[in-house]
Structure 1
């Protein structure tokens, strides 16, 4: 009987590092979460400590890493590292292979979400779909014609850089999707700017929804604007790429009411276009949450590791 292969997986974000041990079938045997350290060296030390802990209990085949940024999956070089400044312009794969003393494969975080959905999630029967995550920033992934699209500089799917308002009309006003439609900037930061009484670290996205439910007019307005900017971004993607599905991830996606609200906002845009105003959003695309939510990055990273390992055998 063939021995089960086990993989150590990390999902590194600007706020938290999620980690776990997974089987080759994507089953999570153990998992945990720690806050992301402020500098790159401390983050790497944390990853090493996690590996050393698990090595006492599991025989690990390798480490699969999901992290933000423009990542060359073949060389392991990171042109950018999202919110982690120390991960810009480094060969993360090379560094971690030495630090962990085991094979390492790395992939962009939202690409990992897409791979998880295609492998075991809500896109197993879809050949053309998008993933978008709403969190500290906005990330994206494109899976089309049966394959993940990375682009010639490994930048494909960076929806957070898409403009959702006129940049040239007011260059002092944030215009990209990462600033207008992320939980941190488009929701939390906008609320404190208008409220003027609290600090960013004192207010979570969930707090703002609670405030709105209690009648806070500013919270209600900020949430509506948040939905509008998400809808603008998704509307553009629907008509540029014509996906079968758009799968939304990030902790905010656990609030299932957001899907109806976003679809309503997209429908409002459609209703104002004479060429298509007799159609429905559902005529073009299905919008739904990820199947695995916060575990998607771990599962997708392991799938990527297995795929890369198999390709090197030929």
Structure 2
């Protein structure tokens, strides 16, 4: 039996797991993500050292935010600014002496669903991760599609909602309107005179009580997400769209999103009668980054 280390570097935590060659997570843990790149690398070194003391490690798979090139070079690093312009694969290999594969977090989630999740049997699909921002992994003919510059599938950059002309245009992007933090929570807090809400579940609870602002915030959020997904549908016609991220476990979220997609589709005569892909939750949720990163490591070895 071969063993691998899966690392899922997120904006809040680094999730880590000891995974066998069948995709079973034997042990997992998490540590807080530092804002400093050097501290993150030191934490990774400690994590790897711990797992190495338990099992012989064949390779390390890393899921990381930002635009990641095939060779592990980080064109961008999401919220981790110290990762911009570094080769993360080389940095980790230098510190651990273990062969490492680095993949964009949304691509890793897409790979995980292909291996062990709800994309089994599909050859052309999109995996959208809804969290602090929006990420996405695009699979075409069973292969990840990276595009000419490594940023294919990054629907978070897509413009979907109107903003004032004197604002930064990124504020009309899917990440700043249809994400859980930058979209839903930001919209609610920006229009509220109450204490800041930091948990999307609070907005759903308020909406259940017919709170006007909560309902308005959810409608804005769903509209942005639905527009982005419909744009994807007409551009690439995937077989299925899987939604990952913590909020995908919320049945109210999925029902609201599906209803908004159906509503917008019904009001557009160009697409009203077209058959669209099913939109459903990803299966692996919080384990997707670890499992997908390991799957890539297995493929590379």
TM-score, normalised relative to structure 2: 0.95
**Residues in 2 aligned to 1:56 and 1:204: alpha-carbon distance in whole angstroms:** 38
Matched residue SS, 1:38:
coil
Q: Are 1:15 and 1:136, in contact at CA under 8 Å, matched by a contact in 2?
A: no
2:173 is aligned with 1:181:
no
Between 128-137 and 168-177, the greater mean CA deviation after superposition: 168-177
**Residues in 2 aligned to 1:143 and 1:82: alpha-carbon distance in whole angstroms:** 21
Alignment of 1:189-268 (within 5 A): 189-199=186-196, 203-268=198-263
Q: Which runs of 5+ in 1 are unaligned?
A: 310-314
Partner of 1:91: 87
Partner of 1:36: 33
Cα RMSD (Å) of the superposition?
1.6
Alignment of 1:1-314 (within 5 A): 4-74=1-71, 76-166=72-162, 169=165, 171-172=167-168, 174-199=171-196, 203-277=198-272, 279=273, 283-309=275-301
Between 14-23 and 190-199, the greater mean CA deviation after superposition: 190-199
Q: What CA deviation, in whole Å up to 9, does each residue of 1:267-302 have, x standing for no partner? A: 22222222343x37xx31111111111101111111
- CA shift in 2, pair 1:147/1:66, >3 Å: same
**Residues in 1 aligned to 2:210 and 2:135: alpha-carbon distance in whole angstroms:** 31
Q: What CA deviation, in whole Å up to 9, does each residue of 1:50-89 have, x standing for no partner? A: 1122222121112110001111122x21110011111100
TM-score, normalised relative to structure 1: 0.91
**Residues in 1 aligned to 2:150 and 2:40: alpha-carbon distance in whole angstroms:** 23
**Residues in 2 aligned to 1:158 and 1:40: alpha-carbon distance in whole angstroms:** 23
Name the count of aligned residue pairs: 300
Q: What CA deviation, in whole Å up to 9, does each residue of 1:127-179 have, x standing for no partner? A: 11001011011001110122110112111110100011246856457100000
Q: Which consecutive aligned stretches of 4+ in structure 1 deviate over 3 angstroms post-superposition?
A: 166-173
Q: What CA deviation, in whole Å up to 9, does each residue of 1:18-73 have, x standing for no partner? A: 11000111110001122211211111111111112222212111211000111112
**Residues in 2 aligned to 1:257 and 1:216: alpha-carbon distance in whole angstroms:** 16
